Structure formats: structure tokens, C-alpha cells
């Protein structure tokens, strides 16, 4: 059976409307899953990375409504009133912060995927380290001096900057709207990105006399500045032309200070893409998420600094998506948000939250498979200052999905760029076009009971899968650190039991997580 007919058969044979995180199979068909097959090219596709600097409080952005009682206990001074949380289409379990009306509309228009609890196995609570880990796509304990986007661009445009710009790539490989170029854009040899604050005016540089440099550190720095100077000149006209040719059509961009700078940055991106710039990756950023204190307004938790930031983010996202649609280019642009970490489950006494671990992120655009990937984080009924949201998905699964399903890179190359084989996630409509992914996506897994709970030394866990495939069972401590991988083996469909060995674990909350390649379920276990 060919892949296409298998999928048709799979869809047709579905009798009951199987709901997968709020999205049923019929909508899978309608959203173009089948039509996406066969289209395999990165040409013209654009990725926009929206960086939220400082550590975004994910629990105050994507709200786990089924955990409200515990959430309220853990963060009574910052938690939103449950009634104020924005409901999302087709789910009662998860909502959005009340200031994110624009983001909600994108979601309800089937153009957003929310990926729950994205992080990495051994969380680092330093902004700087964690940011570097995200930018370079390294392991927690490893220092890489180049970025994931830079490595991808190096693959796609080999030997850059030698021989660029050229007939097949006249434009900058990556643009940061802002004054600094991120580590993410750093390639193996040179930075693949360019920074621009105002695309209409780039001052001409004179020093394009390319010559030898001395073989000293000064020579290295000189070569760098000269190269930059040369590139700036060569790309300045291209950017200016695109800015002049392009336009913006949305009326939803905010005016005035409160609208914020992020919308302005995204507006530039829309204009440049519309103006014909072939640049495949853009980065924009919004700072201020390090909300240790006063993240909410005392007495009215839906207001405050975090609310302002989410409002700016949401308004900017909606205006940008609206603009892309009006300009007729929304089919080839997707955007993702990310932050270096989320924040602690428990709030602090300063109506703020401290550095945490995993957090949700949003991917939006026409090509995105709408829905929520993963479950709400499990909030313990009694938290300590240490409790964190452990990861359900490694951030490199998100990167891998983008590289494979958006930029159409073969899996072997994705693996080479990310260092390991990370399971991709069904973030894009064409993600499910692969049989294995589709099968994984159809499979439901769940943890039944953990007994006894609280437990000492050992506990028995029951779980089930209705489709089979590889399952992994892990124990995370309250800081979000992976403590134990209990098993990682193939299963047939059915119900199972497993005895957890808890000897030697210090008392406290632990998260038991069952994972298939695309699904996960968690339970909180208290060890005495």
C-alpha cells in the first residue's frame, strides 16, 4: 500500500471521531494534510523566531485549567482568576492569559500549535547558560560555539561567506531585526546573520578594500570587521530595495508606546518578505520576562508587567499574521516563540516567580497543524520552592520538526545538525504525512494509577497504550532534572504495570512521565 492510500484508508476507516488534543481526523483532512504530500522544497519558506528574553512564565501564559486547585495553592498571589482565563476552541483543559485575545484568535482560526512543557533534560537556571543552550541547541552540559540556525544555513548555503551574494542567493541568509546578532545565527565559520534596525537606511561603508591581514589576533578581528563591512555594503541595497518594494496592509499594528517594539519588528519582517527578500530566517525579540517581582498587579492578577508583555506579544502576533494574510504570503511564513526557561511553579513573596525549567511555546502560521501538543503540566498538591515544570518535549524536537517538516531537510541531516536523533513533533500539517509519525500520533497513552502515593522505596504504576510502539518511562525530580529512565522499549497495545524503584530518592515531589515519540502523560508522585 502506498503511503497516500494508507492515509486515505486510515482516515476513511475511522468510525468514531477520534479527538486528538481537540482536533479530529476530519479536520486533519480539511487542513490540507493530504494536499501537503509531495510538496518538498524549502524555497521561499520563512521562519520567524520570536525570542522572549528573561524566562517567560509559561504557567501564566498557557493555563492548565484542570490543575487549577493546585496551581492556586502554589501561587496564590499571582494566579489568575479562573474565570478570566481565555477559553480555547475544542478544549476545556487549557486556556490562555486574558490579555492574549489576538493569540487566541490565531489559535481559534486553526493557525497555531501550542507545544507544552518544552525544555531540556538537565535544566540550567542561569539566563546566560540557558539562552546559549537554546541558541546553540547543545546539551545542558556542553558548550557549542555556533547556533542551530547557523549550522542549518551552513548546510543550505555551503562555504558562506565565500562567493556570496551570488545569482542563486542574492539576499542575506538571516536577519535579526535589532542591533545585535544572536548566537543562533552563528555558523561553523562565521555569523550567517545580519542585524538591521532600519531597513530603509543603511549607511554606506567605505572600507571595502579587501586585503591581507596579519596572522595575529588583531588580524582576526580586522578580517571580521572587514568582512562585515563588505557584506553590509553588498546587502544594504538588497534590503533597501525590498523595504521600498514591500508594504504592510494590516491595520492591526498598534501605535504608541504600549503597542511596543515587537510589533514594529514584525512589521519590518512582513514588509521585507513581501518586498521579495529571499532571506529564510528572521529573529525578533521582546525583553522583560525576568519577573522576579511584581509580575502581577497586587489585587488584580490579570494586570501587571507580565500581562503587559503578553499583551504586546499577542497584539504583535495577530497583526503580523493578519498582515501576512492580506499580503498573500501567509502560506510561506511560520513563526515560533521561545524563552530561555519558564518559571518556578511556586510564586515568591514579591508577587513574582523565580527561574524555572520547561515552558510552553507557540508556533503559528498557515502551514501549522493546529492544536495542543502534549498535556498540561501536572502541578503537585503541595509544592515547595523547588518545584519546577519538567520537560515533556526537548526543544530540539521543535527545532528538528522545523528543519524536517518546514525546511524539508532529510532526517539524516537534521540529526547531524542537532547531534542526536530527536523525534519530530506534529507541528506542521505535513508532519503527519509520514506513516510512522501518523501512527504515533494516533496512539493514545496514559498513566492510570500510582500506588501507593505518597510512597516509600517502591510504588506500582499502571499504564496503557492503544496503539503500541516504543514507550519510555522516566522519573523527574522537582527541579525538572531527569533522575531515572525506568525503561525504553517496544510495547503492544494493552494495559501494563511497572514497579518503580524509589530507593535512595530524597523525599519530595517527583514527576512520573510516560512518553511515546509524540505523546506524553505525567503523574505527580510524592516520595516520603
The length of the chain in residues reads 528
Rounded to the nearest whole angstrom, what is the least distance from the CB of residue 348 to other proteins in the complex? 6
For other proteins, the closer CB: 214 or 410? 214
Spell out where 319-478 has E strands.
Answer: 333-339, 343-347, 353-355, 359-364, 371-373, 393-394, 445-456, 458-465, 469-477
Rounded to the nearest whole angstrom, what is the least distance from the CB of residue 215 to other proteins in the complex? 4
| Phi and psi torsions of 423, nearest 5° | -60, 130
**Residue of 137, 118, 126 whose CA lies nearest to 390:** 118
Rounded to the nearest whole angstrom, what is the least distance from the CB of residue 170 to other proteins in the complex? 16
Q: H or E element: which one contains 45?
A: none
Residue 290, C-alpha cell as written in the block: 525576568
For other proteins, the closer CB: 306 or 434? 306
Rounded to the nearest whole angstrom, what is the least distance from the CB of residue 461 to other proteins in the complex? 27
For other proteins, the closer CB: 344 or 519? 344
Rounded to the nearest whole angstrom, what is the least distance from the CB of residue 240 to other proteins in the complex? 12
Residue 364, C-alpha cell as written in the block: 503559528
For other proteins, the closer CB: 67 or 191? 191
Residues that bind other proteins (CB under 8 A): 125-129, 132, 143, 145-146, 178-181, 183, 186, 191, 194-197, 202-212, 214-222, 224-226, 228-229, 231-232, 235-236, 287, 290, 292-293, 348-350, 352, 354-355, 385, 479
Rounded to the nearest whole angstrom, what is the least distance from the CB of residue 224 to other proteins in the complex? 6
Other CB atoms within 10 A of residue 425 CB: 27
User: Which of the 8 DSSP states describes residue 114?
Assistant: E
Rounded to the nearest whole angstrom, what is the least distance from the CB of residue 205 to other proteins in the complex? 6
For other proteins, the closer CB: 221 or 457? 221
For other proteins, the closer CB: 72 or 386? 386
Rounded to the nearest whole angstrom, what is the least distance from the CB of residue 235 to other proteins in the complex? 7
Q: H or E element: which one contains 491?
A: strand 482-491
For other proteins, the closer CB: 125 or 496? 125
For other proteins, the closer CB: 132 or 154? 132
What Rg, from alpha-carbon coordinates, does the chain have?
A: 23
Residue in the block written with cell 578581528: 221
**Residue of 446, 448, 455 whose CA lies nearest to 510:** 455
Residue 282, C-alpha cell as written in the block: 528572521
d(CA 150, CA 133): 14
**Residue of 443, 456, 460, 439 whose CA lies nearest to 521:** 443
**Residue of 51, 49, 55 whose CA lies nearest to 129:** 55
Amino acid at each position: 500500500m502506498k503511503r497516500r492510500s494508507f492515509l486515505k484508508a486510515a482516515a476513511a476507516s475511522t468510525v468514531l471521531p477520534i479527538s486528538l488534543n481537540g482536533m479530529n481526523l476530519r479536520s486533519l483532512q480539511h487542513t490540507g494534510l493530504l494536499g501537503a504530500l509531495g510538496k518538498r522544497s524549502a524555497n521561499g519558506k520563512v521562519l520567524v523566531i520570536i525570542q522572549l528574553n528573561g524566562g517567560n512564565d509559561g504557567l501564566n501564559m498557557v493555563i492548565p485549567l484542570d490543575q487549577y486547585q493546585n496551581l492556586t495553592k502554589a501561587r496564590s498571589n499571582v494566579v489568575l482568576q479562573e474565570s478570566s482565563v481565555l477559553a480555547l476552541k475544542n478544549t476545556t483543559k487549557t486556556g490562555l492569559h486574558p490579555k492574549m485575545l489576538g493569540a487566541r484568535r490565531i489559535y481559534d482560526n486553526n493557525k497555531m500549535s501550542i507545544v507544552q512543557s518544552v525544555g531540556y533534560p538537565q535544566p540550567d537556571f542561569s539566563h546566560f547558560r540557558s539562552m546559549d543552550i537554546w541558541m546553540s541547541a547543545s546539551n545542558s552540559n556542553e558548550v557549542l560555539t555556533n547556533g542551530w540556525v547557523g549550522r542549518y544555513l551552513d548546510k543550505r548555503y555551503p562555504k558562506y561567506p565565500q562567493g556570496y551574494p551570488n545569482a542563486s542567493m542574492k539576499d542575506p541568509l538571516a536577519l535579526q531585526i535589532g542591533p545585535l546578532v544572536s548566537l543562533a545565527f552563528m555558523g561553523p565559520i562565521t555569523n550567517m546573520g545580519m542585524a538591521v534596525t532600519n531597513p530603509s537606511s543603511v549607511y554606506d561603508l567605505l572600507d571595502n578594500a579587501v586585503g591581507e591581514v596579519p596572522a595575529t589576533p588583531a588580524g582576526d578581528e580586522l578580517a571580521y570587521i572587514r568582512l562585515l563591512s563588505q557584506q553590509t555594503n553588498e546587502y544594504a541595497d538588497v534590503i533597501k530595495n525590498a523595504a521600498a518594494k514591500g508594504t504592510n496592509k494590516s491595520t492591526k499594528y498598534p501605535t504608541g508606546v504600549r503597542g511596543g517594539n515587537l510589533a514594529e519588528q514584525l512589521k519590518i519582517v512582513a514588509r521585507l518578505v513581501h518586498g521579495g527578500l529571499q532571506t529564510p530566517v528572521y529573529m525578533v525579540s521582546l525583553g522583560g520576562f525576568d519577573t522576579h517581582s511584581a509580575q502581577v498587579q497586587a489585587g488584580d492578577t490579570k494586570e501587571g508587567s507580565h500581562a503587559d508583555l503578553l499583551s504586546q506579544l499577542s497584539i504583535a502576533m495577530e497583526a503580523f499574521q493578519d498582515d501576512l494574510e492580506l499580503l498573500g504570503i501567509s502560506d510561506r511564513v511560520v513563526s515560533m516563540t521561545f524563552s530561555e526557561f519558564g518559571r518556578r511553579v511556586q510564586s515568591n513573596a514579591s508577587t513574582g516567580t523565580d527561574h524555572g525549567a520547561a515552558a510552553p511555546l507557540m508556533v503559528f502560521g498557515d502551514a501549522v497543524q493546529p492544536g495542543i501538543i502534549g498535556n498540561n503540566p501536572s502541578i503537585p498538591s503541595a509544592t515547595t520552592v523547588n518545584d519546577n515544570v519538567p520537560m515533556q518535549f526537548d526543544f530540539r524536537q521543535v527545532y528538528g520538526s522545523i528543519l524536517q517538516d518546514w525546511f524539508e531537510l532529510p532526517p539524516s541531516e537534521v540529526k547531524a545538525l542537532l547531534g542526536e536523533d530527536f523525534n519530530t513533533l506534529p507541528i506542521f500539517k505535513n508532519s503527519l504525512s509520514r506513516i510512522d509519525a501518523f501512527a504515533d500520533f494516533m496512539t493514545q497513552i496514559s498513566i492510570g494509577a500510582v500506588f501507593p502515593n505518597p510512597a516509600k522505596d517502591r510504588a506500582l504504576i499502571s499504564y496503557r497504550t492503544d496503539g503500541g510502539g516504543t514507550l519510555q518511562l522516566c522519573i523527574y525530580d522537582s527541579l525538572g532534572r531527569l533522575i531515572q529512565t525506568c525503561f525504553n522499549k517496544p510495547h503492544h497495545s494493552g494495559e501494563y504495570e511497572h514497579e518503580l524503584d524509589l530507593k535512595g530518592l530524597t523525599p519530595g515531589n517527583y514527576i512520573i512521565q510516560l512518553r511515546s515519540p509524540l505523546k506524553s502523560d505525567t503523574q505527580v508522585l510524592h516520595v516520603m
